[in-house]
Amino acid sequence: MIEIYSDAKELAAAAAEYFVAQCPETVALSGGSTPRSMFQILAEQFRDEVAWSNIQFFWSDERHVPPDHPESNYRMANEALLSHVPVKTDNVHRIRGENPDAAAVASEYEQTIIDVTKQTLPRLDLIFLGLGTDGHTASIFPGSEVLHETKRLVAAPFVEKFKSYRITMTLPLLNNGAAIVFLVSGAEKAEIVRAVLQGENKYPAQAVIPTQGELIWMLDKDAASKLT
């Protein structure tokens, strides 16, 4: 399903309303400017309309940085949303990127997700993803070995373009989600949106195909401008 909104503000508002309507008990958050706007709307307009204490929060990916680092996806979500709503501290499961051993971080996070959900292949209620201009999603980049991962739920690939490790949910976990939502805004994303949705199959984002869930692309008009 593809939904197109007039601008980034309307997109963020629609994403917030979708979050509320889904009433998720398990959700994977993503980084980026559009999620930040959605988080702020949730905190400001829906603080009293969501059973926040019932939700287990995860992250679809994270930089290999401490939680107070400017690039931390956890930090962004905490500043924009989690610190403003009555979430249980024990229900916030951040990726411990301060650990210098990225592989150990990934293994620990995988076990955390399994332990919390009590499922060997967890089925998260709601997963938010973004789209990079190179077609990556979460931290699954073009050419990454993670594209071919079939057993691990969380991996720690080295991303050459950033010369750093990332920690990311893998396709087996992502594709088992009950609802997966791509949030994409901005004219700079128009070409990759067209390529991913209407071009040949060669981008990581195209490998996000729910096995038995719902896939929604929520775009603003600028990001959708090259779709036919």
Q: What's the CATH number where 182 sits? A: 3.40.50.1360
The predicted pLDDT at position 51 comes to 97
Structural domains counted in the chain: 1
- The encoded tokens of residue 18 equal 């979708």
Distance CA 179, CA 227 (A): 23
Instruction: Tell whether 227 is covered by a domain.
Output: no
Cβ(192)–Cβ(204) below 8 Å: no
The predicted pLDDT at position 33 comes to 85
- Domain region containing 60: 2-220
The predicted pLDDT at position 88 comes to 97
Distance CA 211, CA 198 (A): 21
What is the CA 43 to chain-centroid distance, rounded? Answer: 18
Residues 6+ apart with CB under 8 A from 162: none
The whole-chain average pLDDT of the chain stands at 97
The predicted pLDDT at position 217 comes to 98
Instruction: Tell whether 203 is covered by a domain.
Output: yes
Cβ(11)–Cβ(218) below 8 Å: yes
Distance CA 222, CA 158 (A): 31
In this predicted model, what pLDDT tens digit does every residue of 60-116 receive, in sequence order? Answer: 999 999 999 999 999 999 999 999 999 999 999 999 999 999 999 999 999 999 999
In this predicted model, what pLDDT tens digit does every residue of 139-148 receive, in sequence order? Answer: 999 999 999 9
Phi and psi (nearest 5°) for 55? Answer: -95, 130
Instruction: Tell whether 76 is covered by a domain.
Output: yes
3-state secondary structure of 81: coil
Instruction: Tell whether 228 is covered by a domain.
Output: no
Distance CA 8, CA 130 (A): 14
What's the pTM value of the predicted model, to 2 decimals? 0.97
Instruction: Tell whether 226 is covered by a domain.
Output: no
Distance CA 228, CA 212 (A): 27
Low-confidence residues in the chain, pLDDT < 50: none
Segments in the chain forming alpha helices (H): 8-22, 33-45, 73-80, 102-117, 171-174, 190-198
